Amino acid sequence: MKFQVLVPLMFGFFSPYIALSAVLPIFSQEKQLVRPEGFTMWINRASSIYVSQNDPALKDFFVKFNADGNGASNLCVPAAIGNALIHEYSRTSPRASALKFPGLSPDGQSVDTSILVRELASRCSYEESKNTFDPWSSVMCIIRLLRESGYRDSSVKLIREDVDSTVEPGVVYLDKKPTLQDLVSAIQKGYQVLASFAHMKWDELKKQWVKTSGHSVGVMGFGKKIDSDDSSLVLYVQNPTGAYEMNLVDPVFDQIDLKVRDDLGVFPQKYSNIEAKGGGRIKLNYPNRTAFLAGLILFNADPESLQEDQRQ
pLDDT band at 156 (very low <50, low <70, confident <90, very high): very high
pLDDT band at 25 (very low <50, low <70, confident <90, very high): low
Higher pLDDT pick, 33 / 254 = 254
CB atoms inside a 10 Å sphere around CB 274: 23
pLDDT tens readout for residues 208-227: 899 888 889 999 888 888 88
pTM of the predicted model as reported, rounded to 2 decimal places = 0.83
C-alpha dihedral, 42 to 1 to 107 to 121, nearest 10°: -20
DSSP secondary structure string for all residues of 57-88: GGHHHHHHTT--SSS--S-HHHHHHHHHHHHH
Most confident of 18-32, 170-184, 237-251: 170-184
pLDDT tens readout for residues 73-127: 778 899 999 988 888 887 645 555 688 888 888 887 788 888 898 889 888 876 6
Please choose, from the candidates 260, 215, 312, 239, the residue with its C-alpha nearest in 3D space to the C-alpha of residue 83.
239
CA 153 to chain centre: 22
Supply the pLDDT for residue 34. Answer: 60
What's the angle, vertex CA 113, arms to CA 33 and CA 146, rounded to 5?
Answer: 80
Domain that holds residue 45: 4-310
Spatial distance between the Cα atoms of 271 and 268, rounded to a whole number of angstroms: 6
Percent of the chain with pLDDT over 90: 21
Our count of domains for the chain comes to 1
pLDDT band at 152 (very low <50, low <70, confident <90, very high): confident
pLDDT tens readout for residues 234-290: 888 888 876 555 555 556 678 899 999 999 888 888 899 999 998 656 666 677 889
